[in-house]
Amino acid sequence: MKNVDYFTFEGDKGSAEIDKQPDLCPFCKKHMTPDFIKAYKPTKDYSGQETLEIVFKCTNENCRGLFLAYYDNGISGMRAHSDWFRFNGSGGARYREIVEFSEIIDKISPNFSIIYNQARAAEGLKFLEICGPGYRRALEFLVKDYLIAKFPKDSAAIKGEFLGQSIQRISHQDIKDCAERAAWLGNDETHYVKKHTAQDLSDLKELISMIIDWVNLTEKTAHYKKTLSSKK
């Protein structure tokens, strides 16, 4: 038993007893005694099911993560009293790592980085059924924005056509080959029937990463060809 001070949604303060602190970190899975950070009670009044959410800090120095512990006061009628809460699991979303892309990529497609990182966050949370379509969407923005940057006059057509049609516009063969394959795998992540069973999400991510490498390289090459010429 332990007493904790909490605050409510309205900003009121109170104190409650909890049956125990979590002794296992949901992220690093290590047993430790976490540090108490703050407790929050979403509801103000005692009306049926009450919950308490407590932020704890993992004391494993290789982890150092903050996580949430969930408490309730038992099913209605079994409550000991209103200020008593029992531990009911812990967890929390931890995905603060952001992948940064080169200035070249960010300039070509500002949306790519946003969508890619959202897909990655979903993957980090093990939402494996929805991160694939997220990566597929990121790929579409990368390819279409790359082509729009190259052929601004065709912008409307590029925006409106299927991704596969856009890919056919890519003149650099290696980028085109990677983009085609990424689109096949991306479609597998989106559609009911998976056609390429030997490949998975990691192949899709690898292909996207290769497209990025190729685009960076060709854009940098173009830059130096344009700005640096022979002096005889």
Q: Could you list the residues that contact Zn ion (CB under 5 A)? A: 25, 27-28, 58, 60, 63
Closer residue to Zn ion in complex, CB, 25/115? 25
Nearer to Zn ion, 6 or 56 (CB): 56
Give the angle 30-32-35 at the CA atoms, nearest 5°: 125
- CB of residue 88 vs Zn ion: minimum separation in angstroms? 19
Give the tokens for residue 215.
Answer: 């685009």
Distance in Å, CB of 61 to Zn ion, minimum: 9
Nearer to Zn ion, 58 or 178 (CB): 58
Q: Are 52 and 16 in contact (CB under 8 A)?
A: yes
Closest contact distance (angstroms) between CB of 89 and Zn ion is 15
For the bound state, the minimum distance from the C-beta of residue 63 to Zn ion, rounded and expressed in Å, comes to 3
- Which amino acid, residue 64? R
Which pair of tokens denotes residue 158? Answer: 């590029």
In the structure, how many helices (H) and strands (E) does the chain have?
Answer: 7, 6
Separation between Cα atoms, residue 50 and residue 82, nearest integer Å: 8
CB of 181 to Zn ion, least distance (A): 38
In terms of CB distance, is 28 or 104 closer to Zn ion? 28
Write the burial class of residue 192 (CB in 10 Å: 0-12 exposed, 13-18 middle, 19+ buried). Answer: exposed
Contact 196/184 with Cβ under 8 angstroms?
yes
Complex with Zn ion: residue 10 or 61, whichever CB lies closer: 61
